[in-house]
Amino acid sequence: MRFKLIIFIVVIAFFQVNAQNNKYLNTESYLFKTADSSSKKLGYFKPNASVVLIESLSNGWSNIKTDNLDTGYILTKNLSDKYTNSKRSNILKDNPISNANSNFGNYHSYITVASLRIRNKPSLDSEIVGKLSCGQAVPVKYLPVDPKSWVNITNSRFVQRQFLGEKPTHNNLVEQYNNIQEQDFKNRLKIAERIVELSWNSNQTHLKEAYQILNNLAVEMKAEKLIKISQFFIEYALGQLNKKNDLEIEDFIKNADFIVKGISVKNQFVKLSEAIKAFGEPKEVKNMQDECGIYYSNLFYFYDNINLSVNKEENLANIDYIQLSKDFKFKINQNNIIDHTISELEFIKKYASYIRTNINYPNRYFWQTDDGGYYIDFKNGYAYSITVFTLC
């Protein structure tokens, strides 16, 4: 018992010490290599950036550790014990961290390359936990000077400093692309991918032009997969020129329902007894977490081709997901029934003005309203599944 008490006291003391060592920047500030404002600048802070105090010196300086594990010195007067909501002060003219603007509401920087990997630690050997695209804004609290250093873009997600900067522009990237030797396919493809990603992150203004550049290059390279992808999105961009508004999309899908062979479906509901008779006992039963209250029931039955949110007492099940086949179809209306035979290109040509998509989720498109909508996923070039989603 005494041993456990000692351990408890040690743990509490550890957290208290660490809490005391956590500090916040009360203004924009530099990180210096030594306790001297004329020494080398190691990086830049935004207000309210969090740091760990290593040591307070008697000369008005403090040795601190940043969120990317860099260490250096800062004026002690620039540190506070608490996060503050004070207005921006002590503006550093050479601070490359952008302040809030119409593109992003907080201090940030932009991704300047295509398909940038995010790591869970500041190391090339660490786990890849995500990907960012050219022109995407990311929050930045501390930005090091060294291009090989790492930047914590929130919640211990790291990218290298050399890939962050001001937002690229479409015209500059196109000019850069046009100045590359024709036979230098590797570098032309690299810039073409940046042009495409930037167009997605800039209100899709240049989407058609971007994919036309990529398509022309893919034809030169005889890259069949890239030709298909670029053709899909040229068609999508053309459809977006006549993009329907939210009310038109809602009106289009308001009566959408599923067609399931052997079962009566009404407003995406089926009788649970009919479902069990048709499909047998479920392969898996789960209670799903539902903090937003968006599911019909937290109890889910999972089958090969269909997922159901079930209520045993009411003998009802709500369809949450179907895998498309000749027996499982999605009926938008009498003239628009989707099954596994519709190709991705056919789908885009027909529905481009009604759908939305995102480069971070290839081969997925969605119809969306204020409350939710439907995802349609494609696999091997053909419609594969429909998932119902509700916004929290």
What are the tens digits of pLDDT across the range 350-370? 999 999 998 888 899 999 887
The predicted pLDDT at position 12 comes to: 42
CB within 8 A of 23, min separation 6: which ones? 50, 51, 52, 53, 62, 64, 79, 80, 81
Domain residue extents for the chain: 2-80, 108-165, 170-240, 246-390
Residue 209's H or E segment, with its range, is helix 207-221
CA distance 163 to 110: 8
- For the question of whether the overall pTM of this predicted structure is more than 0.75, the answer is yes
CB within 8 A of 136, min separation 6: which ones? 110, 111, 197, 201
**Residue 89 confidence class, pLDDT cut points 50, 70, 90:** low
* pLDDT tens-digit series, residues 34-48: 999 999 999 999 988
Instruction: Residue 99: name the closest of 150, 46, 49, 142 by CA.
Output: 46
Residue 226's H or E segment, with its range, is helix 224-240
* pLDDT tens-digit series, residues 194-243: 999 999 999 888 999 999 999 999 999 999 999 999 998 999 999 998 99
CA distance 62 to 209: 52
Q: Is CATH 3.40.1260.20 what the domain over 108-165 is classified as, yes or no?
A: no
Instruction: Residue 119: name the closest of 106, 135, 109, 132 by CA.
Output: 132
The predicted pLDDT at position 13 comes to: 40
Size of the chain in residues:
392
Beta bridge partners of 259: 329
CB 203 within 8 A of CB 181: no
Over 90: is that where the pLDDT of 273 sits?
Answer: yes
Are domains 2-80 and 108-165 of this chain identical in fold?
yes
**Residue 18 confidence class, pLDDT cut points 50, 70, 90:** very low
Mean pLDDT of the chain: 90
* pLDDT tens-digit series, residues 175-189: 999 999 999 999 999
CB 347 within 8 A of CB 283: no
Structure tokens belonging to residue 64? 């601190």
The predicted pLDDT at position 17 comes to: 42
CB 330 within 8 A of CB 337: yes
Least confident span in 90-94, 283-287, 347-351: 90-94
Mean pLDDT of 277-291: 91
Q: Which has more pLDDT, 2 or 311?
A: 311
Query: Long-range contacts of range 5-10, CB-CB < 8 Å, 24 or more positions apart?
Result: none
- The CATH T-level fold of domain 2-80 is SH3 type barrels. (2.30.30)
Residue 142's H or E segment, with its range, is strand 142-144
